[in-house]
Amino acid sequence: MRTSNMASKPRWLPLESNPDVMNKFAHNIGMSKSWQFFDVFGLDPDLLGMVPSPAVALLLLFPINEKYEAYKKEEQEKIEKEGQSVSPKVYFMKQTIGNACGTIGLLHAIANNTDVITVESYLKTFFDATKDMTPDQRADKLETDESISAAHETSAQEGQTEAPSREEEVNLHFIAIVHKDGELYELDGRKRFPVNHGKTSADSFLQDAAGVCQKFMARDPSELHFTMVALASAQ
């Protein structure tokens, strides 16, 4: 499965939800090879137990439809009314590039774990340049980053399925779920801000993140197009 379309400025080829493709991409732009993306085959404890430990981020690919958009609007209004706590250490960026949600999810997963994941090359340059920027400024920076866009373009053509064209409507979208300062955050560049899903810890992160994924599935029980990939230690 591939990532979603959005109506915005530039448009990239959609990236496939495929750990092999994502690992090659992430390693090419500077993520340490001691960390890799792994398929998550299900959310029950036995299947979660197959994911290498520690897992530090979970990427969820899910369908965007009218039901989800209505929930998204309701959630945003509730948070804006009631407020939420967000750690200043959370690295969050907006999505202004069509079909870039796979790359933005990958960047969110890595950027919020640089305390344990070594980054070099293009990734280090990008994170160093954007660490003090706003989410919108980070989005602008990605639009002009030729190194990451070129690596994305190459990776988007290496999946098991033929890449759709840039203009094709793709209704699947990637988000990242990460742990920062004892809290569980959903990071979606289509949203105005991170979403705090409550307490978590390094030990309970994967199970807690799976709980967030289960809520997505429960809101649309007839939909089958959900895919999960975890970022975890390969050692």
Instruction: Please measure the distance between the N-terminal and C-terminal CA atoms of the chain and give it in whole angstroms.
Output: 27
Distance CA 89, CA 56 (A): 15
Using CA atoms, how far apart are residues 231 and 199, in angstroms rounded to an integer? Answer: 20
Q: Say which of 27, 108, 152, 173 is annotated catalytic.
A: 173
Q: Cα separation of 130 and 230, whole Å? A: 24
Closest to 176 measured CA to CA, from 186, 167, 166: 186
Name the nearest CA neighbour of 64 among 177, 176, 164, 175: 175
Asked if residue 68 lies in contact with residue 215, where contact means CB atoms within 8 angstroms, the answer is no
b/e map 73-106, b = 16+ CB within 10 Å: eeeeeebeeeeeebeeebbbbbbbbbbbbbbbbb
> CB within 8 A of 18, min separation 6: which ones?
159, 160
- Is residue 173 part of the annotated active site? The answer reads yes
| Structure-token pair, residue 101 | 């949600």
Helix residue ranges, H only, the chain: 19-29, 45-48, 66-82, 101-111, 121-130, 135-143, 146-156, 205-219
- Whether 179 is catalytic is no
**Catalytic pick among 101, 152, 179, 213:** 101
Q: Which residues are catalytic?
A: 101, 173
